[in-house]
């Protein structure tokens, strides 16, 4: 797995491309990362190692805030790298799936 990951890092090149890849990875794997809270939250963006997370309401934001370190650790260990240093929460509806 390390060889695949290293090759992917080289292929992606610059920081902006890596962040786009990891943002897309988070959207696909969010259920695995967030567990039961995934239905109420959505990874909106990733910039400068900060994950911008959209949450359905303030009570869900608080719930995830209490688990922030656990979520950051789970993401970083899944990717074998420090991808996320912080999470910023905002409230709003999950985007509708494209048909």
Does the residue 97 lie in any domain?
no
Domain region containing 55: 2-91
Does the residue 99 lie in any domain?
no
Which pLDDT does position 7 carry in this prediction?
Answer: 57
CA angle 3, 5, 18 (to 5 degrees): 150
Task: Report the CATH number that the domain containing residue 77 is assigned in CATH.
Answer: 3.30.300.180
Does the residue 61 lie in any domain?
yes
Which pLDDT does position 99 carry in this prediction?
Answer: 46
Number of domains in the chain: 1
Q: For residues 52 and 42, give the distance between their C-alpha atoms in angstroms, rounded to a whole number.
A: 9
pTM: 0.77
Which pLDDT does position 52 carry in this prediction?
Answer: 95
Q: Across-strand partners of 15?
A: none
- Report mean pLDDT in 10-residue bins for the chain, 99 residues: 53 69 89 84 92 92 90 88 91 68
Q: How many residues are given for the chain?
A: 99
Which pLDDT does position 86 carry in this prediction?
Answer: 96
Strands of the 50-55 sheet, one edge to the other: 41-47, 50-55, 86-91
Q: Across-strand partners of 41?
A: 55
Number of H helices, E strands in the chain: 4, 3
């Amino acid at each position: 797995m390390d060889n695949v990951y290293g090759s992917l890092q080289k292929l992606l090149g610059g920081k902006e491309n890596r962040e786009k890849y990891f943002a897309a990875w988070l959207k696909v794997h969010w259920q695995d990362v967030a567990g039961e809270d995934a239905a109420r939250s959505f990874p909106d963006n990733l910039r400068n190692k900060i994950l911008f997370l959209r949450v359905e309401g303030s009570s869900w934001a608080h719930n995830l805030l209490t688990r922030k370190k656990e979520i950051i650790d789970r993401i970083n260990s899944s990717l074998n790298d420090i991808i996320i240093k912080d999470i910023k929460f905002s409230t709003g509806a999950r985007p509708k799936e494209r048909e």
